């Protein structure tokens, strides 16, 4: 019993200390890349091996060459790609993510040979529990069949603004009742877990009240946001694998920074006030709401110090702003060396990410 207790107390510390600092930084990165395969000589494979990238994200739409796919061609190709990517990692626990919600937001489309007809959340909310369970179990089985282990879903934004184009307009919300939203999101999470797929609640602290689109630029929700938007996160905090933070700005929560770069919002509100202890992931840091207002170095500094664990760099939205993994790692190392990022933030993020990966 004493030996078991000793191992429980000290083993995580020993494991943490045995890992290099650069490995910890690499684990914090979710990188988007161009390519439908990942042989050993490919840049993404080299980055996973050399910089210890913890996660990648797959897209179908190629912003550089619209005539060619970015990562997704068909089922056989995606399975081959994910196997190659895992072979590049040191332990086969690379997180391979997609946005697969249903409706307009599903990367595995029917034109690539996938089912591709999963309903949007607003339609799912009209179904009974058994129907919902069946739909999301089918979705999780399809993800598993091609080696994807991380779904950046479900959306738990409340449908409280009929002028909202990115949530209400696309039917991405389960509704305006936080209890119902949490119930349907819970079914989604359970279905994903049946096939070993991790999930992410989004978009904290709530994107349902917004009018603008953070993909394009600054979105201020100060006069629109309601505290009830936090309720799904409170109800699901013990179940959530991860929480994705939005780029929305709310002066009532932080008068200076948008949620994704805000210590007050992520550490103060999500972690301390709501009691969430799991992984926090940013929305894509290259979205207009961030890229048009902050220098890249400042974005990384603020995001890590705010309490984010995984930094999502999709290399998807603007072909002119592609970020190399090497540059990102070197920038973070520089910020730590100069005292602008606290070492403990890297250590805590690494520990949380490893706990997440232990679920796989």
| Helix axes 43-51 and 75-88, enclosed angle (nearest 10) | 30
Select which of 254, 283, 284, 309 is catalytic.
Answer: 283
Tell me the C-alpha to C-alpha distance, in Å, between residue 31 and each of 170, 198, 248, 300: 26, 17, 22, 14
Q: Which of 326, 255, 261 is nearest to 287 (CA)?
A: 261
Exposed, middle or buried by CB within 10 Å (0-12, 13-18, 19+), for 320?
A: exposed
Tell me the C-alpha to C-alpha distance, in Å, between residue 37 and each of 50, 65, 66: 18, 16, 18
Q: Is 193 a catalytic residue?
A: no
Q: How far apart are CA 6 and CA 155, in angstroms?
A: 40
φ, ψ at 56 (rounded to 5°) = -130, 160
Q: Is 283 a catalytic residue?
A: yes
Select which of 215, 220, 298, 347 is catalytic.
Answer: 215
Q: Which of 63, 138, 150, 78 is nearest to 108 (CA)?
A: 78
Q: How far apart are CA 171 and CA 297, in angstroms?
A: 35
The residues assigned a catalytic role are 215, 283
């Amino acid at each position: 019993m004493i030996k078991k207790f000793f191992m429980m107390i000290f083993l995580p510390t020993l494991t943490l200390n045995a890992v290099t600092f650069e490995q910890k930084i690499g684990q914090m990165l979710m990188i988007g890349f161009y390519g439908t395969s990942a042989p050993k000589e490919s840049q993404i494979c080299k980055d996973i091996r050399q910089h210890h990238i913890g996660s990648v994200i797959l897209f179908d739409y190629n912003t550089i060459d619209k005539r060619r796919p970015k990562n997704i061609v068909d089922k056989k190709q995606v399975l081959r790609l994910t196997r190659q990517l895992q072979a590049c990692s040191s332990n086969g626990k690379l997180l391979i993510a997609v946005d697969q919600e249903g409706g307009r937001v599903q990367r595995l489309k029917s034109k690539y040979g996938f089912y591709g007809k999963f309903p949007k959340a607003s339609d799912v909310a009209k179904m009974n529990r058994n129907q919902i369970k069946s739909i999301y179990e089918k979705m999780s089985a399809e993800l598993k069949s091609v080696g994807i282990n991380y779904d950046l879903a479900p959306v738990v934004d409340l449908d409280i603004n009929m002028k909202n184009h990115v949530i209400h307009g696309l039917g991405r919300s389960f509704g305006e009742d936080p209890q119902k939203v949490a119930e349907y999101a819970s079914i989604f999470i359970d279905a994903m877990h049946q096939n070993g797929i991790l999930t992410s609640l989004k978009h904290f602290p709530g994107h349902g009240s917004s009018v603008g689109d953070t993909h394009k630029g600054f979105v201020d929700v100060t006069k629109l946001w309601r505290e009830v938007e936090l309720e799904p996160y409170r109800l699901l905090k013990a179940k959530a694998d991860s929480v994705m933070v939005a780029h929305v700005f709310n002066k009532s929560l932080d008068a200076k920074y948008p949620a994704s770069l805000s210590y007050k919002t992520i550490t103060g509100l999500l972690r301390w006030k709501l009691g969430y202890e799991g992984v926090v992931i940013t929305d894509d840091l290259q979205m207009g709401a961030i890229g048009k207002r902050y220098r890249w170095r400042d974005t990384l500094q603020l995001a890590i110090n705010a309490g984010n664990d995984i930094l999502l760099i999709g290399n998807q939205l603007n072909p002119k702003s592609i970020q190399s993994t090497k540059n990102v790692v070197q920038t973070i190392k520089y910020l730590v060396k100069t005292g602008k990022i606290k070492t403990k933030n890297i250590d805590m993020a690494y520990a949380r990410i490893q706990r997440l990966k232990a679920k796989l």
